[in-house]
Structure formats: C-alpha cells, structure tokens
Amino acid sequence: MVLLLFPLVLWVAARHPPVLAAAAVFIVSVTVITTVTSKLGYFGVAATSIDENVISAQITILGTALSAFVLSALLAERRRHEAVVVESERSLQEALANGAVLAFNWDLATDVVRRSDNAAHILGLDPRQTLNGESFCSRVHPDDLAHVQGSGSSLNRDNPTCSIIYRFLRLDGREVWLREASKAEFDGAGRLIRIKGLARDITERKRAEEHQTVLMRELDHRVKNVLARVAMLAASTRKGSTSIDDYVHSLNTRIQSMAAVHSLMSESRWKDVALGTLVGKQLAPYATSENMTFSGEDIRLNAAEIQALAMVLHELVTNAAKYGSLSVPEGQVYVKWQRQNSDAGTKLVFEWRELGGPPVPAEAQPSGFGTNLIRDLIPYELGGAVDLVFAPNGASCKIEIPLGRHEPREGEN
C-alpha cells in the first residue's frame, strides 16, 4: 500500500506548488502511520516488544514527514523569492525600455561593461555584442569625445558624480543623443575601480529643440520682413497721399492685403499656395460676377512669389477701383494666367486687362508709389518682367515670373 502511494506523491509534487507537495507528503505519512499502527504484526528486534517497535516506527515516520514538510516549505519560499526577483528584474527592464534608459556598470580593472537588456536597442548593437570602455568611446561623436573623456578624468572621491550630454554613433549609422548620469567608486587607496550610471536617449527631445530653434529663427525673419515692409509702405504711402484721411485709408488697405496673404500662408503652413486662391482673395473686396472674370491653370507659388504678386495685385485692383474700370458700373476686368515652357525654362505669364473704364489722357497717366511698386517689385524680388500700360481704353499689365529658379531670401519667408 505504501509503495503504491509513492508514484502519487511524485505526480503531485511535479504538478503543484511545493507547499501542496509537502501537504501530500504529510498526508501519505499519516496514512503510513495509521497502517503501521493498525496492521503491523511483528517486525524489528525480537527482544523488543511490539509496542516499542510501533512507537519507534511512528517516531521515524513522523520525523521523516516533518522534515519533508519543512524542506518543501523552504523550497517554496526560495522559489517565491526567485519569482519576485525575476519579476522585479522584468519590471525594471520594462521600465528602462519604456523610458529609453539604459543602465551600465563599468569595472575598470577588467574593462568589462555590463549593460541593461535594452542597451542593444538604444545603441544599435547586436544583442550578443558587447562594448568595453575603449570601443564605446570610439563610437562617441568626435566633437563630443573630449568632453566625455574630460568628465571621466575629473571624477574623484570629493566629486564622484557627473552628468553629461553627448552624441553616440550607432553601428547602423544613426546618431543618438544620450544624457548620462554616473557615479564613481574608489578603493581604499583612492583608485577609481568602477563607474555605475544611467544613460537616457534624448534624441527626440534634441530634435524637437532643434526644430523649435529653426522655427523661431524663421519666425524672427518673417517678423523682421513684415515690419520692414510695413515701414516701407508707411513711408511710401505718405508721399503719395493728399490728406491724412487718404493716407490712413491707403495704408490700412495695404496692411489688410498683407494680412490676407499672411493668413493664406499660415493655412498652407508656409508652403505652396494656389495662384487662383490668391487672386480670389486679393480681388474679393471689389469683384462681382458682372465686373470681373479670371481664369487660369492650377499653378502653385512659394511664399516669396505669393507675397510679391499679392502686393502687385493689390495695387492693380486699387488703381482700377480709383481711376479705372472698377470705378464705373459698366467697367470690366479680365485676369488670366498660364504656364509657358521654353528653352530658357518655365515661367508664369499673368495678364491683367481693363475695359469700359474712364478714358485716361496720356498727360494724366497715374504715377506714384503704387505704379512704381507694380513695375519694380517683381523684377527686383523675383527676377521677372512687368509691362504696365495705361492705354486710353483701359490699363493692361503683363507679368512674367520664372518658376522654380529661386528660393526666398533669408528673412523674406
């Protein structure tokens, strides 16, 4: 009966926690005791009474059962402790990975560097590959190497910690920024024996900072450019104004035109804008279905082209509203544009044509800031050409702008 129970005990011990196995052993032991006590005939030394033999058997079996229970309990506690350690290590590695942080322990005596499991991912290494101190420093960005080595040589008992930021060149060619915080350990003679620390991947943050710097620089350029244009408009508008009211009105409309263009560029995130959208925006205050017609290809212009052409369009439509076709009910304005290709390259041809407006005597042709801006701005800023004519039957303006030949000047975005 006892021999038949041992396979059962082994089966329970193999499939259940150690405490349950110990309980199974204890139950079997009690069974053995009961069997020996109730079924035993005669065994052991003949001179010993049966009662003494039974008691001896009981003590032996109980001692064995108790020892098995204690051993199983100790093993269960050890396994539980091991499970806690494994779980803690797993949680630590997971936390390091989630925070893009690697831990390291550099033994300078052996030049062996132990790193956390996620170090291979951050540093771009094969998981089986290791870097000692020298090979690691060989992959520090050359511009940062002196800083890294200098921070290490400055460590001493009075100053055992340091924090540095440097670039590391991964084996796949990528560059990562690391923020490292480390602490040195020294022996009794003051010799540096070990450096422990954490290094965090801050590449995304550095890229965000660099992007923000670029944006701030661009914003600074744009603000300076806008202020310069406003100052130029204010001074030029004053020269051509006949009264304070005329000056205020003219300056206000020009600034509003600039603001409308700025809104267009902001909506497109300062990228290309459709020419048709610009024309519709600039002519909207004066255009109706009866007095204005415009058509053209789907052509997109960059920031410099849009801003320059918008100022010219504003002067054309303002002049038409004051003196030309838009100053009378029966007047008409025709606007069209197209792309032309030639051996010299691709250019935009933009045409403005007024009809039905008041006759313009040759001796009374418009002049002043607006007219000069129409004729001079496109050639100066975009390298194009402008042909502005105030014929007796209405003004006409032909503008040619080379496409794809220039980038915005610094500060002209």
* 410 assigned to some structural domain: no
Tell whether 293 and 182 lie within a shared domain. Answer: no
- The CATH number of whichever domain residue 115 belongs to comes to 3.30.450.20
pLDDT above 90 for 338: yes
Across the range 249-273, mean pLDDT stands at 80
The more confidently predicted of residues 125 and 410 is 125
The more confidently predicted of residues 216 and 297 is 297
Q: Residue 335: its pLDDT value, please? A: 94
- Of the candidates 406, 407, 316, which has an alpha carbon nearest to the alpha carbon of residue 370? 316
Q: Residue 143: its pLDDT value, please? A: 93
d(CA 333, CA 327): 11
* 123 assigned to some structural domain: yes
Show which of 77, 96, 115 is a domain's final residue.
96
pLDDT above 70 for 22: no
pLDDT above 60 for 24: no
Residues with Cβ within 8 Å of 207's Cβ and at least 6 positions away in sequence, in order, are: none
Q: Residue 255: its pLDDT value, please? A: 82
Across the range 242-252, mean pLDDT stands at 80
Q: pLDDT, tens digit, for every residue of 80-109?
A: 666 554 555 455 445 445 547 888 888 888
- The CATH number of whichever domain residue 328 belongs to comes to 3.30.565.10
Give the other-Cβ count within 10 Å of 318's Cβ.
19
How far CA 17 is from CA of 8, 25, 88, 198, 201, in Å, comes to 15, 13, 21, 38, 42
Show which of 167, 182, 201 is a domain's final residue.
201
275-283 vs 244-267: helix crossing angle, rounded to 10: 150
Tell whether 193 and 229 lie within a shared domain. Answer: no
Tell whether 278 and 384 lie within a shared domain. Answer: yes
Tell whether 264 and 158 lie within a shared domain. Answer: no
User: Beta strand pairing status for 300-301 and 292-296?
Assistant: unpaired
Locate 154 and state its tokens: 């400055």
The DSSP letter of residue 389 is E
* 81 assigned to some structural domain: yes
d(CA 89, CA 100): 16
Say if residues 384 and 326 touch (Cβ distance below 8 Å): no
Q: pLDDT, tens digit, for every residue of 135-168?
A: 888 889 999 999 988 888 888 888 899 899 999 9
Tell whether 139 and 235 lie within a shared domain. Answer: no
For residue 107, the SS3 value is: strand
Instruction: Report which residue type is found at 402.
Output: P
pLDDT above 70 for 16: no
pLDDT over 70 for what percent of the chain? Answer: 70
d(CA 135, CA 345): 54
pLDDT above 60 for 381: yes
Give the other-Cβ count within 10 Å of 354's Cβ.
25
Tell whether 14 and 120 lie within a shared domain. Answer: no
Domain that includes residue 242, residue range: 207-402
Give the other-Cβ count within 10 Å of 187's Cβ.
10
Locate 234 and state its tokens: 């204010």
Tell whether 163 and 68 lie within a shared domain. Answer: no
Q: Residue 401: its pLDDT value, please? A: 93
How far CA 6 is from CA of 1, 23, 40, 306, 358, in Å, comes to 9, 14, 20, 92, 119
Alpha helix segments (H runs only) across 161-288: 203-240, 244-267, 275-283
Q: Residue 132: its pLDDT value, please? A: 83
* Best mean pLDDT range from 17-26, 165-174, 248-257, 398-407: 165-174
Tell whether 232 and 355 lie within a shared domain. Answer: yes
Across the range 117-122, mean pLDDT stands at 82
pLDDT above 70 for 402: yes
pLDDT above 50 for 42: no
Show which of 65, 96, 127 is a domain's final residue.
96
* Best mean pLDDT range from 215-219, 284-288, 290-294, 386-390: 386-390
Say if residues 292 and 333 touch (Cβ distance below 8 Å): yes
Lay out the sheet containing 175-186: strands in order across: 112-115, 101-107, 192-201, 175-186, 161-169
* 118 assigned to some structural domain: yes
* 297 assigned to some structural domain: yes
Total domains present in the chain:
3
Q: Residue 141: its pLDDT value, please? A: 92
Q: What are phi and psi of 52, to 5 degrees?
A: -65, -40
Helix %, strand %, coil % of the chain (to 5): 55, 20, 25
Q: What are phi and psi of 50, to 5 degrees?
A: -60, -35
Tell whether 262 and 176 lie within a shared domain. Answer: no
* 411 assigned to some structural domain: no
Tell whether 197 and 213 lie within a shared domain. Answer: no
* Confidence tier at 215 by pLDDT (50, 70, 90): confident
Tell whether 106 and 92 lie within a shared domain. Answer: no
Tell whether 392 and 246 lie within a shared domain. Answer: yes
pLDDT above 80 for 306: yes
For residue 109, the SS3 value is: coil
Across the range 203-228, mean pLDDT stands at 81
Q: Residue 3: its pLDDT value, please? A: 43
Residues with Cβ within 8 Å of 258's Cβ and at least 6 positions away in sequence, in order, are: 226, 229, 230, 233, 307, 310, 311
Q: pLDDT, tens digit, for every residue of 2-15?
A: 444 444 554 455 44
* 235 assigned to some structural domain: yes
* 409 assigned to some structural domain: no
Across the range 186-204, mean pLDDT stands at 88
d(CA 163, CA 198): 10
Residues with Cβ within 8 Å of 287's Cβ and at least 6 positions away in sequence, in order, are: 280, 333
The more confidently predicted of residues 279 and 256 is 279
Q: Residue 337: its pLDDT value, please? A: 95
Say if residues 170 and 123 touch (Cβ distance below 8 Å): yes
Q: What is the pTM of this model?
A: 0.53
pLDDT above 70 for 32: no
pLDDT over 90 for what percent of the chain? Answer: 14
The more confidently predicted of residues 57 and 214 is 214
Q: Residue 37: its pLDDT value, please? A: 55
